[in-house]
Amino acid sequence: MSYIDGFVIAVPTANKEKFIAHARKGDPAFIGYGALRVLECWGDDVPSGKLTDFRRAVQAKDDETVVFSWIEWPDKATRDAGMEKMMKDPSMSPEQNPMPFDGARMIYGGFAPVVVLDK
């Protein structure tokens, strides 16, 4: 069964095009290392919650937009091997592909699907 890496970040709204360029430069490497697909989603309807929400989770400021991204892998073993290669890939270094956001406020995790419904 597939394996999912999920990410939520706060990107300065003024950096939208820089973020897209960053993703277009880095995301093909995930595919090259075995990912099935990568989705980068710019916040469009991200409501404030009563107890918590996406904005609070990443301490988004008023001039930032929440981005929700995920990578679908064929399985966890492929993900583990692919992520190991990504960490060693010099083209993915902050010097080669600087993050246009505060990476310290990124939340992320790996997830094993328990229900999958396809059309």
How many structural domains compose the chain?
A: 1
Range(s) of the domain holding residue 100? 3-111
Q: Would you say residue 23 lies in a domain?
A: yes
CATH code for the domain in which residue 88 is found: 3.30.70.100
Closest CA to 28 of 107, 102, 109, 82: 82
For 61-118, the pLDDT digits (tens) are 999 999 999 999 999 999 999 999 998 988 888 888 888 999 999 999 999 999 999 9
Torsion of CA 71, 69, 56, 12, to 10 degrees: 140
For 4-53, the pLDDT digits (tens) are 999 999 999 999 999 999 999 999 999 999 999 999 999 999 999 999 99
